[in-house]
Structure 1
Amino acid sequence: MDFAGALRQAVQASGLTLERIRHRLGQRGLSVSVATLSYWQRGRSRPRSRAVVAALEEVLGVPSGTLTGPLDTTEPGAAGSGQAAIGRLERGRSPAELWPDPDLYARVVGELDRSGEHRLERLSTHDVHQLGADRRPRGLAVRNVLRAAGDDVDRVVCVHPAGEGAELTTLRYCRPGRVREAGGLLAFELVFDRVLAVGDTAVIEYELRLPGGGPVADHYDRRFPRPVRDYLAVVQFHPETYPARCYGFSQETRHGRHERLDELWIGTSGSAHLAMADVRHGILGIEWEWD
Structure 2
Amino acid sequence: MEFAGALRQAVQASGLTLERIRHRLGRRGLTVSVATLSYWQRGRSRPRSRAVIAALEEILQVPAGALTELLDDPAPTAAPARSAPGAGPGAGDRSRTARDLWPDPERYAWLVGQLDRSGDHRLERLSIHDVYRLDEARRSWTLSVRTVLRAAGDGIDRVVCVHQTGGGHAGGEAAVGPAAAGPAGLASVRYCRPGRIRAAGGLMAFELVFDRVLAAGDTAVVEYELGPVGEPPPDSYDRRFSHPVHDYVAIVQFDSGRLPARCYGFTAESSLAPRRRLGELWVGTSGSANIAVGAVRRGIVGVEWEWH
Q: What is aligned with 1:17?
A: none
Letter in 2 for 1:205: E
Quote the offset at 1:124 in angstroms. Answer: 0.3
Q: Structure 2 matches for 1:126-275, cutoff 5 A?
A: 126-163=129-166, 165-214=183-232, 216-275=233-292
- Cα deviation for residue 84 of structure 1 reads 4.7
Task: Flag the 1:75–1:175 CA change in 2: closer, same or farther, 3 A.
Answer: farther
Deviation at 1:108, TM superposition (A): 1.2
TM-score normalised over the length of structure 1: 0.71
SS in 1 for 2:10: coil
Amino acid at match of 1:236: Q
Deviation at 1:85, TM superposition (A): 7.2
Partner of 2:117: 114
1:81 is matched with 15
- What is the aligned length? 222
Give the CA deviation at 1:184: 0.8
Amino acid at match of 1:212: G
Identity of matched residues, %: 56
1:145 maps to amino acid: V
Residue 223 of structure 1 aligns with an amino acid whose one-letter code is R
CA drift at 1:125: 0.3
CA distance in 2, matches of 1:191, 1:96: 23
Corresponding residue for 1:125? Answer: 128
- What do you get for the CA RMSD once the two structures are aligned? 2.1
**Other structure's SS at 1:139 match:** strand
* Structure 2 equivalent of residue 60 of structure 1: none
Could you tell me whether the CA contact under 8 Å between 1:173 and 1:205 is conserved in 2?
Answer: yes
Q: 1:74 & 1:239 partners in 2: Cα distance?
A: 50
C-alpha distance after superposition, 1:135-186 (max 9, x if no partner):
2442100000001111100000000001284010221110110111111111
Aligned-residue offset at 1:88: 4.8
Structure number with bigger Rg: 1
Counterparts of 2:275 and 2:238 in 1: how far apart (Å)?
A: 12
Partners of 1:286 and 1:99 in 2: CA distance: 17
Paired residue secondary structure (2:271) = coil
Q: Distance in 2 between matches of 1:88 and 1:187?
A: 22
Answer with 88-97 or 160-169: which moved more: 88-97
Provide structure 1 residue ranges, at least 5 long, that are not aligned to the other structure.
4-69
Match of 1:105 among 104, 108, 131: 108
- Counterparts of 1:136 and 1:75, CA distance in 2: 48
After TM superposition, the score normalised by the length of structure 2 is 0.68
C-alpha distance in 2 between matches for 1:88 and 1:126: 19
Tell me if structure 2 keeps the 8 A contact 1:120–1:146: yes
1:284 maps to which residue?
A: 301
Distance, in Å, in 2 between the alignment partners of 1:88 and 1:211 is 34
